Structure 1
Amino acid sequence: MGEVQVAALGNAIVDVLGEVDDAFIDRYDIIRGGMALIDADRAAMLTDAFGATTHRVAGGSAGNSLACIASLGGSARFIGTVADDELGTTYRESMRSVGVKFDTPARKGDTPTGRCLIAVTPDAERSMQTFLGVAGDIRIEDLQPGDVEEAQVFFIEGYHFETEASRATCVEAANRAKDSGRFTAITLADSGMVQRHLEPLRQFISEKIDIVFANKDEAIELTGKSDPLEAAQAMRELSKWGVVTMSGDGSYVFGPEGEIEKVDAIAPEQLVDTTGAGDAYAAGWLYGFTKCMPLKECGRLGSLAASEVISHYGARPEKNLRELAEEHGFVA
């Protein structure tokens, strides 16, 4: 299968973007500017209502991170579940088209591929309806030999800690990575998830995880501290390496030695859409980590990737991140 820098376990969600008018939002009772989880019937109905003129691209937090790693010139593998259907094929081809390996077999059965139906109105507002489908049901038997054992870093999307089956898969995959002498990492994904599963999550991190990515709200929820710096200090008791991101206020990074370091944010050319900023930051940091860069340089590379992603709509980079990093002197 061959070694890669980062292998990630994530939700295989196809972003389906459709340009609609305001009447469409009202007609289908969509929460303007919000996100709601929906069932299979509503997902099928809205997919049909969007029509054929949609833009479809592989999404999901981990998938977004891997696309950024590939744009930096790194090697990456996605582990996740899609159905044996049209959107499943779209997801697989979209990941492979940007250079990310994706070989998890398609799931047979009646449950379709997950999708995020994004209604874009003339004012550029994005209103999302998300159907997880098979994406949220990753099982131990979905793990292929070498998936995690042949990655420098095995990276978990925190949403998979929500369900019992997916959590068991996270534990098994982390065990395989650790037994193979690999690094393990997790992005906490959502402060609500941290709150709902706080104690088992803390135990999992302390026993299985080397690197934790959290935004300030997730870090405060995880540690019970009142501000990001205190939270970063408390996180050192759980993991060897960690990051606390604070949007425009930059980030804190730490390792097993030395002081916690502050990394400044990099202002985008224009702030358009913050979707995927944390995913891009994690990608830059992990790429730098696998290249043995100093932690502050890893953070600067993460800040640069995040800056590019928030300068336009969508969570994937539009500029080549490798070329951008070279222009800034972050990589040789």
Structure 2
Amino acid sequence: MDKKYHVYGLGNAVVDYEIEVSESFFEENDVEKGLMTLVEQEKQMGLLKVVKNNIKKKQSGGSAANSIISLAQMGGKAFYSCKVASDEDGSFYVDGLTEAGVKTNLVKDQLADGVTGKCLVMVSPDAERTMYTFLGATSDFSERELVPDAIAESKYLFIEGYLVPSESGRSAIKEAKRIAKENGVKVSLSFSDPAMVKYFKNQMQEVVGDGVDLLFCNEEEAMLFTDTVSVIEAREALREYADKFVITMGKNGACVFDGDTFIDIESYPVKAVDTTGAGDMFCGAFLYGVTHGHTMASSAKLASKASSVVVSQFGPRLEAVQTLAVLKEVFG
């Protein structure tokens, strides 16, 4: 039976501020490099004043949103559930989803009071990204933001690991999984960030529950979650939690488990400018591939290529002409 949507995503809605910073910036401003850190609004606004002249881009973001928008840009049909506030950034966020062709639970004149979440994405000269996030309205993301009919009408449910620290977020994940399973919708999950596994491992295990159909993680997340010290050990242990999975390994490519076989996927060597959104792009492109009749191996090849292009520029998105070029190169 044909479904209305290829992927239904749920995750945090934050407006991303892409910022270029120096290597000395982190020590000078007491920022822990390479991690996503949750902060209070006052602290974030203080740092935003420091970097305001170095802002490169501003766009509707959040990890799963980046993936969903990438899928939509490739031609996929997507729905995204999230929460923003009735402020300027909230309206900006809704417009961003609409312009990308993504359906959403958000209605401009029915947005909640409060402040829309923001993420300062600080990119250092080595292309590593460091995030300072104030969740704002999305910290209260809950089952109320779910649209059951849209979940049921999707091929895949895609869940963002950044929701795991929130009790209401975990409840929403479990309810979304329940609806998906009742309607034959495959469940996919991204661990999203090593910090989500390192500091919220019990909560992550709670939402993984009796397993998922498809898991996305990087090598550090895989080892942290499975208490192993090598990717070889981690990939064996992950078979207990996911029917199929992908472990991304940066310049070393990716390891795909298709349910039967481990498949090594080569990377596309590029000069990295900004690694922001590389994992998000990988998930979105991969989901596009598997929901359009392609194998896991060829979907991973598409995801690897798309990610290599996105890290060679600033920001987590590709332009339309770049997207078409990637699809043509990999799928012909």
Range of TM-score over shorter length? 0.7 to 0.9
Partner residue, 2:205: 202
CA RMSD of aligned residues (A): 3.0
Partner residue, 2:298: 297
Partner residue, 2:97: 95
Partner residue, 2:80: 78
Check whether the contact 1:183–1:210 (CA below 8 A) recurs between aligned residues.
yes
- Equivalent pairs counted in the alignment come to 325
Check whether the contact 2:173–2:207 (CA below 8 A) recurs between aligned residues.
no
Question: Alpha-carbon deviations, 1:87-139, whole Å to 9, x = none?
Answer: 001111112212222233454233x0000235679999976532111123211
Q: 1:320 to 1:148 in 2, by over 3 A?
A: farther
Partner residue, 1:191: 194
Match of 1:109 among 96, 101, 113: 113
Whole-angstrom CA distance in 2 between matches of 1:59 and 1:324: 23
Question: Alpha-carbon deviations, 1:210-261, whole Å to 9, x = none?
Answer: 11101000001111222113211221121111011100101111122x2111
| 1:1-332 correspondence runs (5 A) | 3-17=4-18, 29=29, 31=31, 36-44=37-45, 50=52, 55-105=57-107, 107-110=111-114, 112-118=115-121, 128-256=131-259, 258-268=260-270, 270-318=271-319, 320=321, 322-328=323-329, 330-332=330-332
Question: Alpha-carbon deviations, 1:166-217, whole Å to 9, x = none?
Answer: 1011000111111111001100012222133334533532525211101000
Q: 1:77 to 1:125 in 2, by over 3 A?
A: same
- Helix, strand or coil: the match of 1:108? coil
Question: Mean alpha-carbon deviation: is it higher for 32-41 or for 76-85?
Answer: 32-41
Instruction: Give, as a single letter, the amino acid of the residue that structure 2 aligns with 1:207.
Output: D
Q: 1:87 to 1:297 in 2, by over 3 A?
A: same
Q: Under a length normalisation based on structure 2, what TM-score does the superposition of the two structures give? A: 0.87
- Helix, strand or coil: the match of 2:274? coil
Instruction: Give, as a single letter, the amino acid of the residue that structure 1 aligns with 2:288.
Output: Y
Q: 1:71 to 1:228 in 2, by over 3 A?
A: same
Instruction: Give, as a single letter, the amino acid of the residue that structure 1 aligns with 2:331.
Output: V
Whole-angstrom CA distance in 2 between matches of 1:121 and 1:265: 22
Gaps of 5+ in 2: none
Whole-angstrom CA distance in 2 between matches of 1:54 and 1:245: 27
Shift of residue 318 of structure 1? 3.2
Q: 1:120 to 1:287 in 2, by over 3 A?
A: closer
Gaps of 5+ in 1: none
Instruction: Give, as a single letter, the amino acid of the residue that structure 2 aligns with 1:267.
Output: P
Question: Alpha-carbon deviations, 1:21-77, whole Å to 9, x = none?
Answer: 999x69x946386664332234455667738x8742011111111121122111111
Q: 1:149 to 1:198 in 2, by over 3 A?
A: same
Q: 1:153 to 1:120 in 2, by over 3 A?
A: closer
Question: Alpha-carbon deviations, 1:287-318, whole Å to 9, x = none?
Answer: 11112211111110110111111010111123
